[in-house]
Structure 1
Amino acid sequence: MSRHYAVFGHPVAHSLSPRIHAAFGRQTSIPIDYRAIDVEPGQFTHALMDFVASGGAGANVTLPLKQAAFTLCDDLTERARRAGAVNTLVRNGDTWHGDNTDGVGLVRDLTERHALDLRARRTLLIGAGGAARGVAPALLDAGIGDLFIVNRTPERTDQLADALAEPDRVHPRYLGDLQALGEFDLILNATSAARDGSHVPAMPRAIVGRRCAAVDLNYGEAAIPFLAWARAAGCHDVVDGLGMLVEQAAESFARWHGVRPETDAVYAMLNSNHDALVTAD
């Protein structure tokens, strides 16, 4: 039976992952069978079973399924365990091995492609769902300073802060606290607000420090509202999630095929069509 790969999400028709993995396959001369599978959260387990029955060997997982994927794995990498969310599944016999490549993808994009020094940056993370969980541990490992987390649902903020288990560096706060939190050197939007049709939380300009970098984990149209605010607020650097998407995909590809592809050419190809991009994985 041939080996199949896929990205699961809801919605997922927008996903660039099939294009990215096809490009990686051409680059490495590895035949790739990779497609997008739209599945609602309640049907995810059954969809994975059908995928395995048809020869599924590995998968990416995007919103809103990353935490559900975590619960379905019998074995997890340390970074997935810390995140409490999985974006990369590897079939291991009769079980799933779970990894999370989001964080390493983000850090690699910011430090290598955009030449940002993350060390000691006072950081604000907006959101506490699967995307935020995926990147928070890697940001801490990259040496950021204090990490403040805000989210519309305070309980999820507290849960993420507890999971990170670094009370001296990680501080859960409420959205209403933003005005009083002072300036930040790094602000990340890890919400799916623009994609869901809701609004990115209102943020005061007072939180923007002199060397502040603003990063949206979304790309394309879904990143426009936050990045527009960041430019208007005077952020020194403004970065969307396209590079992170390519880098996390390369890490997943390496897990499945044993070789890590080069990413710059693929990023350049996608970036040249930036206006046609829709949203984030």
Structure 2
Amino acid sequence: MTEATPLPRYAVIGNPIAHSRSPEIHAMFSRQTSKPLRYERLLAPVDGFAQAVAAFVAEGGLGLNVTVPFKLDAYALAAGRLSSRARLAGAVNTLSWRDGAWHGCNTDGVGLVSDLLRLGVRLAGASVLVIGAGGAARGVLQPLADAGCARLHIVNRTAARAEELAAAWRASGVSPQTQVTAGALTDAATADGWNLVVNATASGLQNAAPDLPRGLYAAGAAGYDMMYGARPTAFMKQAEADGAALTADGLGMLVGQAAESFFIWHGVRPDPAPVLAALREALVAGR
């Protein structure tokens, strides 16, 4: 009797990691596409990312989703083998072991854009307000520009950080057709309103919304929070009260970025819709 061939091994690495829904998502993608795999949570010490990844490879690991606080560590690990999305984002959330080395990509922005399109948000020619100037904001600029957004305005509690991000983007020379500007939270308003407002801050962790002026939303505009929960987030409530025609949280973005990672690893693009529906049901039920 011969031993069964071990399943291809993947994981999500972070600290903390127990809350991650990535194993559920990839298990559903696996069943949907008939691609058998083993996918687990990998808790790494905050100062032990490289050692944890090396041990994972030694045990046959082929791919990693990377979450807080290791996206910059993953970027450094894959230096020289980065996708254009990862280089522009300045962070890596997807690592692939190929030819004896780690290759890095960033799928967060692709996940956001795919979910916005699913929701029916028109991005071609759109004026978009991005709240926050950290890694989450940086990771979505290129995909939003590639989707045809005409203007991206980045605001942050510390205006200098927003200005720095906008300047770095302009210096990259990518998507020159998209105007990228920046300012403070108090600079968030514009005369005609925004077609889309994206909350890329972690304010939802404190069940709070960013301190924004009123009158941000153009007719038919959308408010999108990268955070998600069983109930509408504080930002979603704020957006609805300020006139947003559509509000959504980031659960669809989570599934969308995972679908892109799955495609990178397996060459098959799963359908995120039934996975998103199952996750939403579980979230509402408290599972």
> Under a length normalisation based on structure 2, what TM-score does the superposition of the two structures give?
0.87
CA gap 1:17/1:265 in 2 versus in 1, 3 angstroms: same
1:57 to 33, 56, 62: 62
Aligned match of 2:153: 148
Matched pairs, number: 276
Give SS of 2:139's match: helix
Q: CA deviation at 1:225?
A: 1.1
- Structure 2, gaps ≥5 residues long: 1-5
1:92 to 2:102 alignment: no
Which residue, 113, 135, 139 being the options, matches 2:140? 135
2:33 pairs, out of 17, 28, 32, with 28
**RMSD (CA atoms):** 2.3
1:178-202: CA deviation from partner (whole Å, max 9, x where unpaired):
357762111001112222x374321
Q: 2-side partners of 1:93 and 1:19: how far apart?
A: 28
State the Cα distance separating 1:238 from its structure 2 match: 0.6
The percentage of aligned residue pairs carrying the same residue is 46
**What code does the residue aligned with 1:8 have?**
I
Residue of structure 1 aligned with 2:114, choices 98, 105, 108: 108
Correspondence list, 1:74-89, <5 A: 74=79, 75-89=81-95
The yes-or-no answer on 1:48 pairing with 2:53 is yes
Counterpart position of 1:190: 200
Write out per-residue CA displacement over residues 195-230 of structure 1, whole angstroms, 9 at most, x where no aligned residue: 2x3743211222222222101111115961111111
Alpha-carbon shift at residue 239 of structure 1 (Å): 1.3
Measure, in 2, the Cα distance between the counterparts of 1:35 and 1:156. Answer: 35
> How far, CA to CA, are the matches of 1:128 and 1:250 in structure 2?
25
Distance 2:56 2:231 in 1: 29
1:126 paired with 2:135, answer no
Cα shift readout 1:104-154 (whole Å, capped 9, x = no counterpart): 22111211x212111222111011222212211100111112111112344
Give the letter for the 2:34 counterpart: S
8 Å Cα contact 1:64-1:130 kept in structure 2: no
Provide closer, same or farther for how the CA distance between residues 188 and 276 of structure 1 changes in structure 2, counting only shifts above 3 A. Answer: farther
Find 1:275's aligned residue among 261, 266, 284.
284
How far is the alpha carbon of 1:176 from its aligned partner? 3.1
Q: How far apart in 1 are the matches of 2:17 and 2:275?
A: 20
Q: 2:183 aligns with which of 155, 173, 180?
A: 173
1:8, distance to aligned residue in structure 2 (A): 1.7
1:6 Cα deviation from its structure 2 partner: 1.0
Does residue 7 (structure 1) correspond to residue 16 (structure 2)? The answer is no
Query: Residue 261 of structure 1 aligns to a residue in which SS?
Result: coil
* Counterpart code for 1:101: T
Query: For structure 1, which runs of at least 5 residues remain unmatched after alignment?
Result: none
Cα separation, partners in 2 of 1:276 and 1:91, compared to 1, 3 Å: farther
173-182 or 138-147, which deviates more: 173-182
Report if aligned partners of 2:110, 2:257 keep a CA contact under 8 Å in 1.
yes
TM-score by length of 1: 0.89
AA aligned to 1:213 is A
Secondary structure of the residue that 2:23 maps to in structure 1? Answer: helix
**Bigger helix fraction:** 1
